[in-house]
Amino acid sequence: MDIRKLDTYNKSYLQGIERSSQFSYSTQYFWWKKYNTLEKIFCKIFKRCAAHKKKLRILDIGCQIGHDIFKLADKLKHEKIQFEWLGIDINIDFIKVCNIRKKLRDDYQFCKFNFFVGNIEECSLKNEKFDIIICSEVFEHLHSDIKAIKNIHQLLNQDGVLILSTPNIDNKAFKLSKFIGKKIIKNIHNTFKQAAKSEFEFCEKINISEKNDEHINLKKLKDWKKFIIENNFKILSVKRGALFYGSKYIDNSPVLFIIVLFFDKILDYLGILKNWSYNFFLICEKQK
C-alpha cells in the first residue's frame, strides 16, 4: 500500500496517531489549559443562562470526536436543567466515534446528545436555535469566515453566546523567544528548529507539508475583535490560552518548562497581556 495515496481523512488520522505517539508533556499542558479555560468560561455562562432557563441548547462546531461536549457534559451532569448538545464536524469518521461515545452516557438523566456531519460555511441547520455555540480552533481552517460568522449569528438565540477560540498569530512570547534564540543565544534557536523538524519527519512520507498549511485564516487579536463587532456581536471578554504550544525541546528542558508555567500563571492572575499566548478565547454575545 502506498501511504502517499491515502485520502485526506485517513492522512489526518495517521498524522494524529504519529503525533500522539511522540508524547510531549508541554504539548499536553497546552491542550489541558485549552480545555480548562473553556470549562471555566462555559460554567460561568451556564450559571447566567440557568437563572432564567429550564433547557439549554448548545452547538459545538468542529466537534471532532466530542472532546469538549463530553467533558462539559460530564462536568454538569448533576445539574437539574435539561441539556441538548449538538455537535457537527465535516469528518464522517469523527461523527461515528461521537455516536459510539454517547452510548457510554445513556444514564445522563438531563442530557441529550446528537451528532451530524456538517459545515458551518454551508449551514444546514437554518431552522435551529441555540443558547450557546462553541467554535474552538475552527476559524483558522475556514475559507469563508464571513459565511461562518453570519450563520453562527443566525443560529444563536437573541442574547445567545458564542465562545470562539483561535490561534494568536501575534504571540509576543513566541516573538521574544525567537529574538533571544536568534540574536542572543543562537544555539537555542538551532536546537529548537532541529527538535521541531524531527517531530514532523513522518509528514514528508505522506505528502503533508511542514508549513501547517491548514491554518489558512489567521488574524491578530485586534482584527478578530473588529471582525466580531462588525458582524453584530458584543465582546464580553477575552481570555488567554497557554503561552506556547509545546515541543520536544521544551520537554527536554525542565527548567525552561517551569519558567514557561510560572509566567503563564502570572499572566493569567494579572489578567493582562492577552497577546502573550499561543491562542485566545473571545466570548461574544449576539446583538440584533
pLDDT for residue 51 = 82
Residues 245, 222: Cα–Cα separation, whole Å: 21
Our CA angle for 189, 191, 194, nearest 5°, is 110
Greater confidence (145 vs 288) lies with: 145
- In this structure, of 141-155, 176-190, 192-206, the range with the lowest mean pLDDT score is 192-206
pLDDT value at 36 more than 90: yes
pLDDT value at 197 more than 90: no
pLDDT for residue 1 = 47
Greater confidence (175 vs 67) lies with: 67
Residue 132: in which H helix or E strand, if any?
strand 130-136
Residues 193, 65: Cα–Cα separation, whole Å: 31
Contacts (Cβ under 8 Å, ≥6 apart) of 205: 3, 4
pLDDT value at 173 more than 90: no
pLDDT value at 139 more than 90: yes
pLDDT value at 201 more than 70: no
pLDDT value at 19 more than 60: no
pLDDT for residue 248 = 74
pLDDT for residue 215 = 81
**Which pTM was predicted?**
0.84
Residues 264, 276: Cα–Cα separation, whole Å: 9
pLDDT (mean) for 189-203: 56
Greater confidence (95 vs 24) lies with: 95
pLDDT value at 200 more than 60: no
pLDDT for residue 223 = 94
pLDDT (mean) for 80-108: 90
283 residue type, one letter:
I
Indicate the pLDDT class of residue 256, thresholds 50, 70 and 90: confident
Sequence-ordered alpha helix ranges (H) in 110-220: 145-155, 172-179, 186-199, 201-205
Indicate the pLDDT class of residue 211, thresholds 50, 70 and 90: very low
- Averaged pLDDT score across all residues of the chain: 83
pLDDT for residue 133 = 97
pLDDT for residue 210 = 45
